[in-house]
């Protein structure tokens, strides 16, 4: 099993980023290295904070074929169509139905969001499962363990992609405004990534998390619970925030 953290700004796509892509060159190069270091797993699972979901439940896309493009960003010609792993989805829903502390619901929507599409632009995915996040952070530890148990039961070799950005408040003029604690949040998260201590993400100060205006922490927590002891070795391939949003690329687990 392998896992990775991927940012999802559409400007990483050449036809969208234009000249601004040079300002995130470290992220682009890290994504290219990530793609070279990860093997084509049986199944790629992407959890995205932009996938439509429910406040108290996680959604999993259920159509047999999933697709998406960057039409919303002026590039309808850039996109992907990929088979959903319907057997995995059905088994995940069956397992979740027996849980008291987590609700997982099917999402009858076949159009992928940019939180999925940006990582897939770089990664070689054969089959896909797409999950949303829910409101409560603690639910995502249960979700990660549930996904891992389902993968083990079905014998799937999985690449788990935690799609998400870090603080959106790194500098004046940032998308969510400026908060000096944004940089502190990012530094703590990146250090946890470097140590492979994904359990530590759940122990971050709640006030710091709120001040950061992040979008990826739920995805990262899910990844940590999915990997468990398989999180090591851990490698941070890049971190930067030139537009006031923190972008980290990291990989966890053995590479082939």
- The CATH number that applies at residue 161 is 3.40.830.10
User: pLDDT category, 254, cuts 50, 70, 90?
Assistant: confident
What's the total number of domains in the chain? 1
Can you spell out the DSSP letters for 36-72? HHS---SEEEEE-TTS---SSSEEEE-SSEEEEEEGG
Q: Is the pLDDT of residue 256 over 70?
A: no
pLDDT of residue 255: 63
In tens, the pLDDT along 168-226 reads 999 998 989 999 999 999 999 999 999 999 999 999 999 999 999 999 999 999 999 99
How many other CB atoms are there within 10 angstroms of residue 200's CB atom? 15
- Give me the torsion for CA of 62, 154, 98, 215, rounded to 10°: -60
Lowest-confidence pick of 1-5, 86-90, 230-234: 230-234
pTM score, whole prediction: 0.97
Spatial CB neighbours of 237, under 8 Å, sequence gap ≥ 6: 30, 33, 34, 249, 250, 251
**pLDDT for position 232:** 87
Please, what is the average pLDDT of the chain? 96
Rounded CA separation 27/37 (Å): 15
For residues 78 and 16, give the distance between their C-alpha atoms in angstroms, rounded to a whole number: 10
106 is in which domain, residue-wise? 2-252
Angle between helices 86-96 and 139-154 in degrees, nearest 10: 130
């Amino acid at each position: 099993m392998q896992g990775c953290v991927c940012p999802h700004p559409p400007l990483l796509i050449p036809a969208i980023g234009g000249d601004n892509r040079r300002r995130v060159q470290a992220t682009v190069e890290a994504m290219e290295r990530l793609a070279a270091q990860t093997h084509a797993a049986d199944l790629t699972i992407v959890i995205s904070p932009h996938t439509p979901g429910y406040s108290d439940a996680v959604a999993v896309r259920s159509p047999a074929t999933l697709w998406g493009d960057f039409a919303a960003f002026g590039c309808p010609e850039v996109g992907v169509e990929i088979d959903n792993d319907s057997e995995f989805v059905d088994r995940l829903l069956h397992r979740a139905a027996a849980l008291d502390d987590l609700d997982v619901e099917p999402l009858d929507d076949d159009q992928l969001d940019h939180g999925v599409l940006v990582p897939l632009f770089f990664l070689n995915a054969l089959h896909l499962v797409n999950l949303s996040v829910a409101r409560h952070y603690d639910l995502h530890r249960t979700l990660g363990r549930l996904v891992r148990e389902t993968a083990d039961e079905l014998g799937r070799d999985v690449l788990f992609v935690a799609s998400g950005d870090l603080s959106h408040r790194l500098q004046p003029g940032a998308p969510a405004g400026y908060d000096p604690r944004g940089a502190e949040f990012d530094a703590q998260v990146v250090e946890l990534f470097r140590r492979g201590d994904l359990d530590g993400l759940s122990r971050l100060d709640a006030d710091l998390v709120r001040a950061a205006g992040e979008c990826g922490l739920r995805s990262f927590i899910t990844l940590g619970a999915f990997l468990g002891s398989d999180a090591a070795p851990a490698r941070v391939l890049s971190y930067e925030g030139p537009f006031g949003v923190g972008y980290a690329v990291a990989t966890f687990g053995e590479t082939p």
